[in-house]
Amino acid sequence: MDLVLDLADTYLLDKIYAHLVPVSAFTGSKPSVSTWSNIVSYLPHPPLPAELFEPAVTTAPLTSAWPRDYMPRQLLSLLVLTLIGIHVLYFVFAGLSYKYIFNHDMMKHPKFLKNQVQLEIQTSLRGFPVMTLYTLPWFLGEVRGCSRLYTDVDEYGWTYLVFSIAFFLVFTDYLIYWIHRWEHHPLCYKWLHKPHHKWLIPTPFASHAFHPLDGYLQSVPYHLFIFLFPLHQKLYLVLFVCVNFWSIFIHDSDMVTGSVFETVINGPAHHTLHHLYFTVNYGQYFTLSDRMNGSYRQPEAHLDPLLEVKMAEANKQK
C-alpha cells in the first residue's frame, strides 16, 4: 500500500491537502481571508518548520501543513484509497466474471435466492467500510516502514523473488485454511461465517459478501506475511490484487471437472462443493491442507449443481 500511497501523493493528494489544509492557515502571518482557513486553523498539525513562516511560503498555493509522513494524513488517505480500491476491484472483476464466466443458468437453481445478486452486492457494500477500518493498522504499519517490504531486487536476489511468490501463496493458503475451518466451529459459525454461506449457489458478487469480521480475519495472512518475511514491494501489490481476483473467480459456481490440476489447485469446482456441503474444501488456492486434514472432497461431474437445474427444467416441460 505504500507504493499506492506514494503515487497518489505525488499525482493527486499533495495538491488536495495543500488546498484543504494549507500552511497559511497556521502561520499567523496575516489574518485568514476565508472561513475555511479559520475552520482549518483549529485542526491538529505537526510542528511547522521556521522556513514555512516565510512570506514566500505562506502565500504559496500548494503547501500543506500536513506533510506526507503525518499520521492523521496517512490514515485518512489510506481509508479513502482503500475504500475506492476495493469498490473498483469488486465491481470490475466481479462484474466481468459475472458477465463472461458465471453460468447464468445457475440462477434457475432451486437454492438460488430471490434477488440474490442484489443481496450479495448489498452485503459486500455494507461490509467494506468496516473491513477497511479493521485493516487500516496493517496498512499504516506498512507505509510507516514497519513491514519487510523492499524495493531493490538485488537486496535478496532473483531466486528469492521467484521463491517468495510460492512461499506467499503456500503460507497464506495454510493460514486461511485454519481460519476458515475455525469459522465453521459451532461457537462462531452462526454469527460469523453463516452470512457468507447464505449463498448456496454463489455468484462472483458473493466473493466479498461476508460478515465484516469474517472477511477481515481471512485477509490477515496476507498482511501478516510482509511483517514476517521479505517481499518485493511491487510484487506484493500484484499478489494482493491477484488473490482478490482469485476469491472472485472461485465463486462462479463452476463445476468443470477433469482438469490435470484438479487434485492440486482449489478452484471454482472445489469451492462450489464447499458452499453446498459446508465442511469440505476449506482451502483458498491449494488442496494440500484439505488432504492433510481429512476435509478434501473431489469434484465429480455427478455433483454439479447445474444437473439440478436441468432436472428442474425438464420437469417443467413434462
What's the pLDDT band for 50 if we cut at 50, 70, 90? Answer: low
Which DSSP symbol is given to 12? I
Q: Judge whether 73 and 66 are in contact, CB under 8 Å.
A: yes
Q: What is the pLDDT of residues 115-124, one digit of tens each?
A: 999 999 999 9
CA angle (61, 54, 69) in 5-degree steps: 65
The pLDDT of residue 55 is above 80: no
The pLDDT of residue 62 is above 70: no
Angle between helices 220-228 and 157-182 (to 10 degrees): 140
CA angle (286, 251, 93) in 5-degree steps: 105
Angle between helices 157-182 and 233-249 (to 10 degrees): 40
Which DSSP symbol is given to 197? G
Q: How many other β-carbons are positioned within 10 Å of the β-carbon of residue 165? A: 15
Distance of alpha carbon 266 from alpha carbon 273, whole angstroms: 11
Which residues share a beta bridge with 232? Answer: 150
CA 67 to chain centroid, in Å, comes to 27
Coil, strand or helix: which one is 7?
A: helix
Q: What is the pLDDT of residues 163-212, one digit of tens each?
A: 999 999 999 999 999 999 999 999 999 999 999 999 999 999 999 999 99
Which residues share a beta bridge with 265? Answer: 286
- Through-space distance between the first and last CA atoms of the chain, rounded to whole angstroms: 57
Note the pLDDT of residue 318: 66
Show the cell assigned to 246: 482469485
Distance of alpha carbon 214 from alpha carbon 184, whole angstroms: 11
Q: Give DSSP secondary structure letters for 262-309.
A: TTTB--HHHHHHHHHHSSS---SSBSHHHHHTT------GGG-THHHH
> Which range among 16-20, 141-145, 197-201, 257-261 shows the weakest confidence by mean pLDDT?
257-261
Coil, strand or helix: which one is 231?
A: strand
Q: Judge whether 199 and 275 are in contact, CB under 8 Å.
A: yes
Q: What is the pLDDT of residues 106-165, one digit of tens each?
A: 999 989 999 999 999 999 999 999 999 999 999 999 999 999 999 999 999 999 999 999
Distance of alpha carbon 282 from alpha carbon 38, whole angstroms: 55
Radius of gyration of the chain (CA): 24
Note the pLDDT of residue 315: 76
Note the pLDDT of residue 187: 94
Q: Residue with C-alpha cell 458478487?
A: 205
Fill in the amino acid letter for 215: G
Q: What is the pLDDT of residues 216-239, one digit of tens each?
A: 999 999 999 999 999 999 999 999
Q: Give DSSP secondary structure letters for 47-81.
A: PPPGGGGSHHHHT-TT-BSS-TT-HHHHHHHHHHH
The pLDDT of residue 312 is above 80: no
Strands (E) located in 160-262: 231-232
The pLDDT of residue 250 is above 70: yes
Q: What is the pLDDT of residues 182-192, one digit of tens each?
A: 999 999 999 99
Note the pLDDT of residue 28: 59
Q: Judge whether 124 and 204 are in contact, CB under 8 Å.
A: no
Note the pLDDT of residue 52: 59
